Structure 1
Amino acid sequence: MTLPKLHVAVLMGGWSNERPVSLMSGEGVARALEERGHRVTRIDMDRDVAARLTDANPDVVFNALHGVPGEDGTVQGMLDLMGIPYTHSGLATSVIAIDKELTKQALVPHGIPMPGGRIVKSEELYESDPLSRPYVLKPVNEGSSVGVAIVTEASNCGNPIRRDAEGPWREFDELLAEPYVRGHELTTAVIAGPDGPRALTVTELVPKSGFYDFDAKYTDGMTEHVCPAQIPDNISELCKSYAVQAHRVLGCRGTSRSDFRWDDELGEAGLFLLETNTQPGMTPLSLVPEQAKYCGMDYGDLVEAIIADALAYGEGAGQDRKGAG
């Protein structure tokens, strides 16, 4: 699809923990659009965002926000009410996908394996471990590995966890506790198109030290991206199959990225989907642009493809609104 010249509002920034990443994503998108002759209005998300969007009156919004409220359905609902087409997933999908427990409830019945676990009150952690060590603690509705901790027998947080120990238990009232899956960190991007969603490839993420946390994701040189991952073909195909299935079941639009852990000692039974990100990063270190490039799609093509999908969906949604009126 060849895009006409458009007025695109790039929505970025905001006030979540992922604000710096969103600003980098948004600026990259804005520059790519300007290079292709589109008119761009950059909007750093604040409480007056609806008024600023009304003043700008764009043809479409590129939603480059990460975290709350740009990725949890709040902004999506606002844009739906305003009747402005926007990129990436809609309200219901965003509400489910940002919540790791709701995501499990949606995907596991469809045969997509995910680690077990349960929601725990942070206060409980000071009394006893919720699972056998090693286990993972993570916020229920944050992305980009924000607040993730791996609790092992050798952890310096104590056993049980001390109240003065640094960790997500000091920042969040509730956390998701999951068994730790040893092995490989894998990720697969999916992009929507006129013929349906397709998986790009599989990347293995190899942190230079520690694990693939927020800093490792967004600090140049801290993580090696092996693209495509040097893993058996059956595991690669399974990652791509699960990623496309998750995209479909959750109702994702535009792009999504599914993250996996794979225990190579267990073969296919050792592959677990951890989460599906409905608004993957678009920074120079981001995985979706990297995988798209490997598949022959440059950054500008990727941005325009995401917008084309938003416009195609927006036309149908607009017809639905007119019919309802």
Structure 2
Amino acid sequence: MNITVLCGGLSGERDVSLTSGLMCAKALSKKGHEVFLLDVFMGTDFPPEKAFAERQDFSDVTSSIAADAPDLEEVKRLRGESPDGFFGKNVIDICKKSDIVFMALHGCNGEDGKIQATFDLLGIPYTGSDYLGSANAMNKGITRRLLIADGINMANGAHYTKNDYETGKTNEWSSFPCIVKPCCGGSSIGVSKAENKEEFEKALKNCFKYEDEAIVEEFISGREFSIGVIEGKALPVIEIIADGFYDYKNKYSGKTREVCPAEIDEETNKKLQAAAEKAFASLKLNIYARIDFILNSKNNEPYCLEANTLPGMTPASLLPQEARAVGIEYPDLCELIVNKSLARF
């Protein structure tokens, strides 16, 4: 099968995406597929008609995740010509020559449904959720409304715009501690915990550096879990034990410990898996996703944090660990995602 692995892009999760893409490309190549690894923003000078003529060797290709999110203005400068257009040179033409595009993108313009909608119009098959499910899950404000309407627990919260901050409307928030996060961000970029009004102001200011909408939620004390879902069926629960606040650095520094299957009683396990499956359906997701929860220490009830429609596929990522717990090794997981996605088309 000819597979383009699409990665990179122009979001704060660019480095994570490049690493996910490289791993997926290596895995799918080992499974015997003809794979072309492609940065959706940078593009390539490689002639599209020769993209799958010979197998690429990824053995010497390396990628790493820096301690801080990438400088996207520098990424634009590195591309040079037409820095304002999203799709790089030859990207669409190579994707058209694929049997399917493996979406290894994270964040905006990749996980938010825009590329999925473009590919739908162009008749290009791709992996993962369609444009509607992707858009629902990417916008945390929409996620909150849909999940709460379906009876899924979420922390009490509010949605604010940058204009609300500038006009003083955010002063109405009075519950501390709280979590402030960009409405459409990922990898905890721009996320802060505020213990008081002063920290809340700093958190909002930091959040609005990344986008113009913010979600504020009451802080819930408890254990953090994540559950992968494939075609509506939950994988084993994984617990995330962070060394301090679970921010971008902690996610990819190797300091965070994951336990899979999570060391919880069967009732709690079933409760988390059922909530993940319900969230998957509520958001109209397809093929696979990962749903994150906090287990409230006061009432032992799961509270949903967010849904990830293109979960990370890096060495530190959670979904591959969960799949391995039920005997699905990494290359098999990548091929499973390809086959189930292709069947939808």
Task: Mark yes or no: TM-score above 0.5.
Answer: yes
Cα distance in 2, alignment partners of residues 101 and 149 from structure 1:
17
Deviation per CA, 1:44-98, whole angstroms, max 9, x where unpaired? 0123358423245000000000011001111001110111110010011111110
Task: Count matched residues.
Answer: 297
Are 1:211 and 2:245 counterparts?
yes
Matches within 5 A, 1:215-226: 215-220=249-254, 222-226=255-259
Of 31, 39, 48, the match for 1:36: 31
Gaps of 5+ in 1: 1-5, 315-325
Aligned position for 1:238: 271
Are residues 283 and 71 of structure 1, via their aligned partners in 2, closer, same or farther at CA, if it must alter by over 3 Å? same
Question: Could you say what the CA RMSD is over the residues aligned between the two structures, in angstroms?
Answer: 2.1
Q: % of aligned pairs identical?
A: 37
Query: What TM-score, normalized by structure 1, do the two folds share?
Result: 0.86
Q: What residue identity is the alignment partner of 1:100?
A: K
Matches within 5 A, 1:244-263: 244-263=277-296
Aligned position for 1:141: 184
Q: Is the 8 A contact 2:191 2:247 kept in 1?
A: yes
Q: Is the 8 A contact 1:30 1:40 kept in 2?
A: yes
Cα distance in 2, alignment partners of residues 127 and 91 from structure 1:
31
Cα distance in 2, alignment partners of residues 212 and 124 from structure 1:
31
Q: Please identify, of 120-129 and 101-110, the stretch whose mean Cα deviation from structure 2 is larger.
A: 120-129
Matches within 5 A, 1:53-132: 53-55=92-94, 57-120=97-160, 121-123=164-166, 128=171, 130-132=173-175
Aligned position for 2:66: none
Cα distance in 1, alignment partners of residues 184 and 324 from structure 2:
30
The alpha-carbon deviation at position 162 of structure 1 amounts to: 5.3
Q: Is the 8 A contact 2:13 2:107 kept in 1?
A: yes
Q: What is the SS of the residue equivalent to 1:48?
A: coil
Aligned position for 2:44: none
Gaps of 5+ in 2: 42-85
Aligned position for 1:185: 224
Are 1:286 and 2:317 counterparts?
yes
Cα distance in 2, alignment partners of residues 231 and 256 from structure 1:
22
Aligned position for 1:321: none
Cα distance in 2, alignment partners of residues 131 and 188 from structure 1:
32
Q: Is the 8 A contact 1:10 1:26 kept in 2?
A: yes
Q: What residue identity is the alignment partner of 1:109?
A: A
Q: What is the SS of the residue equivalent to 1:260?
A: strand
Q: What is the SS of the residue equivalent to 1:301?
A: helix
Query: What TM-score, normalized by structure 2, do the two folds share?
Result: 0.81
Cα distance in 1, alignment partners of residues 126 and 35 from structure 2:
14
Aligned position for 1:152: 195
Cα distance in 1, alignment partners of residues 123 and 328 from structure 2:
30
